[in-house]
Chain A
């Protein structure tokens, strides 16, 4: 058994797909888990909406619950106008949730524990906000950086700070998800390796090993919560940022 807590994040090339210049583009274990997450979501939603009964069964109510949950999140943060972004937010939420939950299964790979994945997700939100903001509001989008009721002599300073605050969004957006998943999985692995190390140290070691074992059980429960919570936080922040594109300044 591997006791190295970092080894679980290793990218493994499964088979080559294409070659661009001298760089080989390979289908990696990360890509395989993303495909698995998309397959799980698709099966869940297709099977859940298949029966279309008036009194929903178990699977159908789970699918409807997911829809209602995301729709309510969007309506409460970005208003009904935000519902045009429902497919985008729903995709982000379900994808991150599925990937996080699959990563909790022992011996699997956690896609969101790599910052390149979360950064691309956050940048897609950031660019959507910018493109849609300029497309819908034109130059009024810059009102976002000019808060009302600020004395004119400190306005330039405030505008600078607002612009920096805006630019920092994709960083905090991506680092939060990535760091949570990375830290959680490393902690789990470290405590789990304590069990085997202590277990090999005689009778007292086995008694002592129950302590990290109990901790790992508790941590797994916590990680389950974190997996859901971080998907939710990512979705709600996406809504808040999209709200800026829909109504910049007031």
Chain B
């Protein structure tokens, strides 16, 4: 169905953005607290991107979600 394709597309894009945002937020906070700028942001932004991609692949069913029983 067309509309559910729309919802699916929207879900995939938010999954990616959310991963990157969380990574950036954690990296920025670590930089601030530990004074290791800019390494926290660099490392956690990359990790967050990886997490976002993982989210997208799970949501799309490319990678089997280990937590979904079937």
Contact = CB atoms under 8 A, between A and B. Distances in A.
Pairing of A with B = yes
Interface of A: 77, 79, 144, 147-148, 157, 160-162, 164-165, 167-169, 171-172, 175-176, 179-180, 222, 225-226, 229-230, 233, 240, 243-244, 247-250
Given A148-B66, A229-B3, 8 more contacts: A77-B68, A164-B23, A164-B50, A168-B22, A172-B11, A172-B15, A222-B3, A250-B69
A160 B69 CA distance: 23
B42 interface: no
Nearest to B15: A172
B67 A247 contact: yes
A167 B65 CA distance: 16
Interface of B: 3-4, 6-7, 10-11, 14-15, 17-19, 21-23, 26, 44, 47-48, 50-52, 54-55, 58, 65-69
Interface of B is mostly: helix
21 contacts: A164-B51, A165-B54, A165-B58, A168-B15, A171-B18, A172-B17, A175-B17, A175-B18, A176-B10, A179-B10, A179-B14, A180-B10, A225-B3, A226-B7, A229-B4, A233-B11, A243-B68, A243-B69, A244-B67, A249-B66, A250-B66
Pick the 10 closest A-B CB pairs, nearest first: A172-B18, A164-B51, A168-B18, A171-B18, A165-B51, A168-B22, A172-B14, A168-B19, A244-B67, A176-B14
B69 A229 contact: no
Contact of B51 (A161, A179, A222): A161
B30 to A, nearest CB: 12
B14 A161 contact: no
A167 B55 CA distance: 11
Contacts of B66: 147-148, 249-250
Contacts of A248: 67
Contacts of A167: 22, 26
B24 to A, nearest CB: 10
A247 B67 CA distance: 7
A161 B47 contact: yes
Contacts of A175: 14, 17-18
A240 B59 CA distance: 11
B68 A168 contact: no
A144 B65 CA distance: 11
B67 A144 contact: yes
A165 B67 contact: no
A75 to B, nearest CB: 12
A226 B1 CA distance: 13
B5 to A, nearest CB: 11
B8 to A, nearest CB: 9
Contact of A79 (B6, B7, B15, B69): B69
